[in-house]
Amino acid sequence: MSDNAAEQALQYLRDPAVVVGLGAAAVSLAYMATRPEPTPCPVNVKQQSIELSNDNFARRSALTADLVEYLFEDCRTTHEVFLRGASISGDKPCLGQRSSPDGPFEWLSYDEVLERSSCTGSGLLELGCKNVEDDITYIGVYASNKIEWVLVEQACAMYSMVIIPLYDTLGPDSCVYIINQAKMTTVVCDPVKIPLLLERCDKCPTLKNIVKLKGEIKDEDREKAEKCGIKIIEYDDLEKMGKENKHEKKLPGAKDLAVVCYTSGTTGNPKGAMISHGNIISMLSGLVILIQKCGIQVDNNDVHISYLPLAHMYERLAQLLCFMFGGRVGFFGGNIRKIMEDLQELKPTLFISVPRVLNRVYDKVIKEVSGSTVKKFIFNTALSFKKAELERNIIRRNSIWDYLVFKKIQNSLGGRVRFVISGSAPLRDDVMVFLRCALGCIVLEGYGQTETTAASTIQLVGDNTFGHVGPPMPCNKIKLVDVPEMNYFAKDGKGEICFYGYNVFQGYLHEPEKTKEAVDEDGWLHSGDVGEWTENGTLKIIDRKKHIFKLSQGEYIAPEKIEAVYMQCPLVNQVFVYGNSHESCIVCLVVPDEAQIKKWAAKNGCDGDVENLCKNEKVRTAIFNEMIAMGKKEKLYSFQQVKAIYLHPDPFSVDNGLLTPTLKFKRPDITKHFKDTFEEMYRKLQD
């Protein structure tokens, strides 16, 4: 090469555009060279469920020919699941929690858990808790997630007792109702919950024992308990008593009750869903079959972080999944704001979560990259490459984009998460895409109810479509039933979602009439949700039957459907639609999105905090117009569009009693709380 040609080549290489181009080419080549094979769907992705023509066109999973009752012959109860894990792991870690807020995790082995659970069960019997065949004994647990929670649960499983979780969001009056309905004699309780029980102990005539977890018993609590005829005992003393007075185990069968899980509901007293060992095992077995066929093998190296409430079946199923294969369960420190620190220390491999947690991860990342044009460009470029791979069913976290962009996000969850399941509420499509790209692992969404022992559908790997909750679980089938008043008909693939299978609960405790309302004479559980079958045999949730009401002119309104439309508005955080049969139109409460409304206010010359902005007519008009425009875009009928809105600065929450623990509106409570507001809105419309 001549000197002139060499100089031209060097000059060419000094051009910044060329350098960037060559760099991009190198990145692309490296990217293509390391790209793995696609992850296939375990069934025909266009036929994920099979229609049963001889069963009112119900559908079952395409994964199995028959409904799954159990997976292993020696795992027919929750205790046998734990024994299987113990046979695999024995003296290896099982349950762990941090020794101090910033300390390392300390672990109990499987063998230690079995021994301590046996002592706990024997101690409960020494307290007088019965376990005779014709009398079911209910043991209450009023505590946050911790090792002792599992010890009590396993103790109940060893001695054919039934655990009943109590939790704060039920409210103190509901706790009294549950104790009385179950004729409960014993509650295992966190120290901070004891005063709440003692304040109402005169209303609980059957309550005789409170087992206190950790810490000394206050003299005033002991004196108050004695006046009510209640004995308070330390948990350590209960274990010691059981160790010194061992009782022979009385193991349950598959048909025996394991738990009564009370659902808070949106109105009236809570209902106690009776869930048998067989219900739990079928659900767990169906889940294992599904994830294994999706290429996920759980083993004794897996780690789960327990932070979702153990009072709900969702978290308990996640733990049992680990126990079945001898894995580890570590409990978060109790402060959800510090869960990221717990994740860094524990480094879980399984992450069972809910949208409100996953949304936080998404929002934090988007906020961080939005502050820099360069960061935003790099992030969006990385996301587009990973999206392209997702469309070809390629799931991984070893690409150049993972190392350059997404590794920090993956490390925020500990850096070892292999798969994520989201449940309890719908996950937004954009968040789902982000998670699958950024975490580089399988992320699946499920749907179900307490009455189906948690999930009844879960998405399958290899299906890169969104907006649905997957096909039926292998343990249950699903059919849709006509809802004529809402123009939904099963012949069109739309209707109320109904479940039948081994995971469907046994009914509501001492509530035969409510059981009949939920389960028809053929054994189908009616959910109250309205679904639609997609072309690929998955289920899409499109409406809610339960809360419909009729306007004065005869039109039916499904408020949740309308709320979902308005929730797409950027300025909106929460929407509650209201109407009744005496009015011809609907109105609604709107909680503005604080960040967005402040940003809008700054651009449009409006001053003040959120409370003052909610009183500003200019702000109200802007939000109202945005909602009406969205309603038109989503083709709402005129009678489905709100005619007035009221801006409220404080979000509805579990703490203020306006949301259920699963973040659904307590519609009667909100209606009662804002009764005067609704009346004033209608009055102004008539002026």
pLDDT at 265: 57
Cα–Cα dist 165/187, whole Å: 9
Over residues 472-499, mean pLDDT: 93
Whether the Cβ atoms of residue 393 and residue 462 lie closer than 8 Å to each other:
yes
pLDDT band at 18 (very low <50, low <70, confident <90, very high): low
pLDDT band at 527 (very low <50, low <70, confident <90, very high): very high
Give tens-digit pLDDT for 595-653: 899 999 999 988 888 999 999 999 999 999 999 999 999 888 888 999 999 999 999 98
The DSSP call for residue 403 is I
pLDDT band at 31 (very low <50, low <70, confident <90, very high): low
| 78-88+107-293 carries CATH number 3.40.50.2300 | no
Residue 172 has pLDDT above 80, yes or no: no
Cα–Cα dist 165/82, whole Å: 20
Please determine whether the domains at 78-88+107-293 and 549-686 fall in the same fold group of CATH. Answer: no
pLDDT at 26: 59
* Domain map (residue ranges) of the chain: 2-34, 78-88+107-293, 549-686
> Mapped to the 3 state alphabet, what secondary structure does 321-334 carry?
HHHHCCCEEEECCC
Give tens-digit pLDDT for 349-391: 999 998 878 888 888 888 888 888 899 999 999 999 999 998 8
φ, ψ of residue 527 to 5 degrees: the values are: -85, -30
Amino acid at position 104, single letter: P
Q: Is the model more confident about 277 or about 5?
A: 277
Render 320-388 in DSSP notation, one character per residue: HHHHHTT-EEEE--S-GGGHHHHHHHH--SEEEE-HHHHHHHHHHHHHHHHT-HHHHHHHHHHHHHHHH
Over residues 508-519, mean pLDDT: 95
3-state helix vs strand vs coil in the chain, percent to 5: 45, 20, 35
List, in sequence order, every residue forming a beta bridge with 164; answer none if it has no partner: 140
pLDDT at 102: 85
pLDDT band at 499 (very low <50, low <70, confident <90, very high): very high
Question: In 127-201, which ranges are continuous DSSP H helix?
Answer: 147-158, 172-181, 194-199
Residue 25 has pLDDT above 70, yes or no: no
The DSSP call for residue 288 is H
Tokens of 243: 């160790």
Parallel, antiparallel, or unpaired: how do β-strands 350-353 and 419-422 relate?
Answer: parallel
End-to-end C-alpha distance for the chain, whole angstroms: 90
Cα–Cα dist 114/1, whole Å: 79
Cα–Cα dist 639/643, whole Å: 9
Over residues 280-292, mean pLDDT: 97
φ, ψ of residue 581 to 5 degrees: the values are: -70, -5
pLDDT at 466: 83
Whether the Cβ atoms of residue 590 and residue 562 lie closer than 8 Å to each other:
no
pTM of the model: 0.81
Over residues 252-275, mean pLDDT: 87
Assigned fold of 549-686: GMP Synthetase; Chain A, domain 3 (3.30.300)
Residue 239 has pLDDT above 60, yes or no: yes
Give tens-digit pLDDT for 59-117: 999 999 999 999 999 999 999 999 999 999 999 999 999 988 888 999 999 999 999 99
pLDDT band at 426 (very low <50, low <70, confident <90, very high): confident
pLDDT at 152: 97
How far CA 165 is from CA of 138, 149, 188, 253, 659, in Å, comes to 10, 10, 10, 21, 19
Cα–Cα dist 401/442, whole Å: 17
Residue 29 has pLDDT above 80, yes or no: no
> Mapped to the 3 state alphabet, what secondary structure does 296-319 carry?
CCCCCCCEEEECCCCCCHHHHHHH
Whether the Cβ atoms of residue 669 and residue 656 lie closer than 8 Å to each other:
no
pLDDT band at 449 (very low <50, low <70, confident <90, very high): very high
Residue 9 has pLDDT above 60, yes or no: no
Q: Look over the chain and give the mean of its residue pLDDT values, rounded to a whole number.
A: 89
pLDDT band at 465 (very low <50, low <70, confident <90, very high): confident
**Among 122-136, 290-304, 594-608, whose mean pLDDT is lowest?**
122-136
Whether the Cβ atoms of residue 120 and residue 158 lie closer than 8 Å to each other:
no
Over residues 585-591, mean pLDDT: 95
CB atoms within 10 A of CB 621: 11
pLDDT band at 160 (very low <50, low <70, confident <90, very high): very high
pLDDT at 423: 85
Render 442-489 in DSSP notation, one character per residue: EEEEEEEEGGGTEEEEE--TT----SS--SBPTTEEEEEE-BGGGTB-
pLDDT at 140: 96
Cα–Cα dist 533/645, whole Å: 34
pLDDT band at 675 (very low <50, low <70, confident <90, very high): very high
Residues in the chain: 687
pLDDT at 320: 97
Angle at 497 between CA 512 and CA 292, to 5 degrees: 105
The sign of the torsion formed by the CA atoms of 130, 131, 136, 137 equals positive
Give tens-digit pLDDT for 240-259: 999 999 999 999 999 999 99
The DSSP call for residue 552 is T
